[in-house]
Amino acid sequence: MKEHEITILKKTKAYAEQAIEFKGELTFEEFSKDSKTVAACALNLSQIGELAGRLDESFIEAYDEIPWKKIRGMRNRIVHDYEGLRLSIVWDVLDEFLPQLILDIRKTLASEVKGEE
């Protein structure tokens, strides 16, 4: 794994963790009424997608357990159609997808460290 790919993974993980932190213990109803939290989470999701777009195709194929193209697609929806963004989708990403993404990134980074030994 190249150094810039490791950096992208670490940044992606940090943005995911921060978005989950912003969501906190809010219910969907509370989240959907809190425009600052929605905007902060959407920004983090768009940053995650932006970072995914910087990965080489060979990396994406090698680590295809992570849906990099869907991540990039989410970024495009946020950036190009923010007004039409469905909060239920954002909520599902925050609540279900990001925790798994964090685990997958940790596993990927850990396997890289083992591979260097």
CA distances from 92 to 17, 39, 80, 97, 109 (A): 15, 15, 20, 7, 25
Q: Which amino acid is at 36?
A: K
Helices (H), the chain: 3-23, 28-33, 35-52, 57-62, 68-80, 87-92, 98-116
Q: What is the pLDDT along the chain (117 residues), one digit of tens a residue?
A: 899 999 999 999 999 999 999 999 999 999 999 999 999 999 999 999 999 999 999 999 999 999 999 999 899 888 887 677 889 999 999 999 999 999 999 999 998 766 554
Q: Render pLDDT for 50-69 as a digit per residue (tens, 0 to 9).
A: 999 999 999 999 999 999 99
How big is the chain, counted in residues? 117
Give the predicted TM-score (pTM) of the model: 0.91
Widest distance between CA atoms in the chain: 49
Positions marked active-site: 75, 80
- Show me where the domains of the chain are located: 3-110
